[in-house]
Amino acid sequence: MRVVVLAATVAALAAAPAHAEQQTALTLVDPTTALTQEPPLAPPAANTPREQEATAFHQRVDSQERITTGVDATGRPVSVAVAQRLHVVGTGDYSYTVPAPVLSVQATSDSESAPGRRTGAILWAGFSDGARTLGADARLQPAAAAPYLPLRLGIRAEVDGSSLRAGERRSGTLSLVLTLYDATRTPAPSASARADLPALVRALDEARRGVYPLGGVTIHARGPVAARTAAVEAPLDVRGEIMFQGGHVAGLHGGRMRFSARLGDGGPLTRTIRFSGPATGVAAPRVRIVARPVEPMRSLVPPRGATWADAARRGPRLDSRRLLTIAEDAHLRAARAHQYDTFLANPGPPRESDGAEYVYVTAPAPAAMSMPGRRRGQGLVLMLALVVIVAGGGLVAWAHL
């Protein structure tokens, strides 16, 4: 919401006479600013729960989530499940609604209450005597939840140029390509102007320490202010492993390959991992990948010196317009990362202490729906017999009309 207000202000200022020296207060957004409607997941449009009631209660609520996505052999999501733990601190009644395209939900082993369910929401109601843990294991509709996952995968495994399918083992030259893509980038309204250099330096050094104050940071700009559109993402720290169970792959100890990467944060959104080598009796690979949204660091490295204050002392003519862009993008990236800290909504007041990790694992192959030959033949005979009986009954009924 603060971003939209800023955009309107910038547009109005941009229309002002260019020769007038203007003093304008700009706000670097705070970490709870939502740049898009989702995440956290919103209720279905056709069945919107009533307005969140948590604001009527005085408890603090911290949310910790693990989102586990099952992917097929190509990396496509086929299942999404969330384990969410709400740590309620405070005394009194609570009644919380957590929007989610939920198929089923049950309490976690450490939950002190049982969640309820209705179409489009997980429900909590009860009394907190000072502190309470509410834990829900929820299975979500993949088609509704998967578009809002922060990481997308592409997996291609071939032996001698032909795709390695689930359930088969082959020997030859193995070629593996795993693509990781940060899917969180979004446009955000921002501003361009000459701004107060000391205030910018302080804001940048605080951001490097992970300090993004609630309410944002006020920066005074001088002269005309122009509107700009920033393209920002939630930086993702990704680590994982690729596993070949059984067989032998030359060059891979134990048939495993581990990797780590940071996506975004001023760097590429995509990372491609490749491997090629001889393999004997190899099966399709399995993956386990963990992605965590993090605050920006790489994009906040000062041009010279250990800190931005040091850089300003060494080069007092730093371009304040450029520094404003870096500071705005850092605050927007931090806000975007905070959005992905709650894939399911925290029903309490806005918090900075929420956290989420996204786990991607190879989903088990679907069970075959075939029957053994003899049973299948018996089933066909029974079906034909049933058709004959029904048809005969119909003829008898017709004859008595």
Q: How far apart are CA 131 and CA 376, in angstroms?
A: 58
Tokens linked to 161:
């140029």
Report the distance separating Cα 369 and Cα 379, nearest Å: 14
pLDDT confidence band for 318 (50 / 70 / 90): confident
Supply the angle between the helices 320-339 and 197-208 in degrees, to the nearest 10: 30
**What would the mean pLDDT of 56-73 be, rounded to a whole number?**
90
Per-residue pLDDT band for 256 (boundaries 50, 70, 90) equals very high
For residues 44-63, average pLDDT: 63
Which of 168, 154, 151 lies closest to 284 in space, CA to CA? Answer: 168
What is the tens place of the pLDDT at every residue in 203-254?
999 999 999 999 999 999 988 999 999 999 999 999 999 999 888 999 998 8
Q: Is pLDDT above 60 for 138?
A: yes
**Which pLDDT belongs to residue 367?**
53
For the chain, the average pLDDT equals: 86
Instruction: Give the lowest-confidence range in 13-27, 45-59, 97-111, 114-128.
Output: 45-59
What's the confidence (pLDDT) of residue 245?
84
Mean pLDDT lowest for which of 9-18, 225-234, 273-282, 376-385? 376-385
The per-residue pLDDT for 305 is: 74
Residue 353, pLDDT score? 84
pLDDT tens by residue, 279-299:
999 999 999 999 999 999 999
> Would you state the pLDDT for residue 383?
40
Report the amino acid identity of residue 154: G
Write phi, then psi, for 376 (nearest 5 degrees). -65, -40
For residue 320, pLDDT over 50 is answered with yes
- pLDDT greater than 60 at residue 110: yes
The DSSP annotation for 343-369 comes to: SSPP-SS--S--EEEEEEEEPPPPPP-
Decide if 313 contacts 305 (C-beta within 8 A): yes
- The dihedral over CA atoms of 69, 73, 75, 81, expressed in degrees to the nearest 10, equals -10
Q: Do the Cβ atoms of 36 and 61 come closer than 8 Å?
A: no
**pLDDT score, position 165:** 86
Q: What pTM did the predictor assign?
A: 0.85
> For 268-302, b where at least 16 C-beta lie within 10 A, e where not — what string?
ebebeeebeeebeebbbbbbebbbbbbbbbebbeb
SS3 assignment, position 243 = strand
Residue 114: DSSP 8-state? P
Which comes out higher in pLDDT, residue 374 or 38? 38
CA–chain centroid gap for 141, Å, is 15
pLDDT of residue 263: 98
Which of 269-273, 306-310, 332-336 is predicted with the least confidence, judged by mean pLDDT? Answer: 306-310
So where are the chain's domains?
Answer: 2-362
Q: Which of 146-160, 241-255, 267-281 has the lowest mean pLDDT?
A: 241-255
Region 262-284: mean pLDDT is 96
pLDDT of residue 166: 80
Q: What is the pLDDT of residue 109?
A: 97
Reported as a pLDDT band with limits 50, 70 and 90, residue 303 is confident
pLDDT tier for residue 46 given thresholds of 50, 70 and 90: low
Helix (H) / strand (E) containing 195: strand 186-195
Residue 153 has pLDDT above 90, yes or no: yes
Question: What's the average model confidence in pLDDT over 69-75?
Answer: 96
- pLDDT tens digit string along 344-363? 999 988 777 899 999 999 99
